[in-house]
Amino acid sequence: MKPHKFISLFFTILLGLPAMQVGADTLERVRANNTFTLGYLPDLAPFTSAESGTVNGYGIDLCLKVADRLKAELGLNDLEVVYLAVSEDTAGGAIQTGKIDILCTPTLETLERRKSVSFSRPVYTAGLSVVVRKDAPAALLRVLSGEAAHTGPTWRATINQGLANHTYATLEGGITEDWIRDRMRRLGVIAQLATVGSHEDGMQLVAEGKADAFFAERMLLQNGLQKSRAGEQMMLLDTIFTFAPVALALERSDEDFRLLVDTVISQLYHSGEIEQMQRKYLGELRGGARLLFPVYALP
pLDDT one-digit tens code per residue, 98-149: 999 999 999 988 888 899 999 999 999 998 899 999 999 888 888 888 775 5
What does the pLDDT read at residue 259? 97
- Summarize pLDDT for 259-280 with one digit per residue, the tens: 999 999 999 999 999 999 999 9
Q: Sign of dihedral through CA atoms 250, 256, 257, 259?
A: positive
Residue 180: what pLDDT?
Answer: 84
Closest CA to 297 of 273, 258, 267: 267
Q: How many other C-beta atoms can be found within 10 angstroms of the C-beta atom of residue 111?
A: 6
Distance CA 145, CA 130 (A): 10
Mean pLDDT of all residues belonging to the chain? 85
Contacts of 115 (CB under 8 A, 6+ apart): none
The string of pLDDT tens digits covering residues 40-82 is 999 889 999 998 889 999 999 999 999 999 999 999 999 999 9
Q: What element of type H or E holds 187? A: helix 175-187
Cα–Cα distance between 218 and 129 in angstroms, integer? 5
d(CA 81, CA 76): 11
For residues 210 and 183, which has the higher predicted lDDT (pLDDT)? 210
User: Residues 6 or more apart from 20 whose CB is under 8 A from it?
Assistant: 96, 116, 117, 251, 252, 253
Range(s) within the chain of domains with CATH label 3.40.190.10: 5-125+245-283, 127-242
Give residue 107's Cα distance to chain centre: 6
Count of other CB atoms within 10 angstroms of residue 270: 14
Asked whether the beta carbons of 256 and 263 are under 8 A apart, the reply is no
Report the share of the chain in percent with pLDDT over 90: 55
When pLDDT is averaged across residues 214-220 and rounded to a whole number, the result is: 91
Are β-strands 192-196 and 167-171 bridged in parallel, bridged antiparallel, or unpaired?
parallel
Closest listed residue to residue 28, CA positions, set 262, 256, 249: 256
Is 257 strand, coil or helix? helix
Q: Which of 179-183, 184-188, 195-199, 252-256 has the highest mean pLDDT?
A: 252-256
Residue 236 bridge partners (DSSP): 131
CATH class, range 127-242: alpha beta
Is the four-CA dihedral 170, 176, 179, 183 of positive or negative sign? negative
- Largest Cα–Cα distance of the chain, in whole Å? 70
Give the whole-angstrom CA distance, residue 176 versus residue 229. Answer: 25
Q: What's the pLDDT score for residue 73? A: 95
Residue 30 belongs to what H/E stretch? helix 26-33
128: left (phi over 0), alpha (psi -120 to 50) or beta: beta
Q: What's the rounded Cα separation, in Å, for the pair 133 and 225?
A: 11
CA dihedral 115, 117, 122, 124 (to 10 degrees): -110
* pLDDT value at residue 9: 44
What's the whole-model pTM score?
Answer: 0.80
The per-residue pLDDT for 148 is 57
Backbone angles phi, psi at 91, to 5 degrees: -60, -45
Q: Is the pLDDT of residue 17 over 50?
A: no
Closest residue by Cα to residue 164 from 133, 143, 178 = 143
Contacts of 264 (CB under 8 A, 6+ apart): 62, 65, 66, 69
Fold of 5-125+245-283: D-Maltodextrin-Binding Protein; domain 2 (3.40.190)
Per mean pLDDT, which of 142-151, 181-190, 193-202 is the most reliable? 193-202
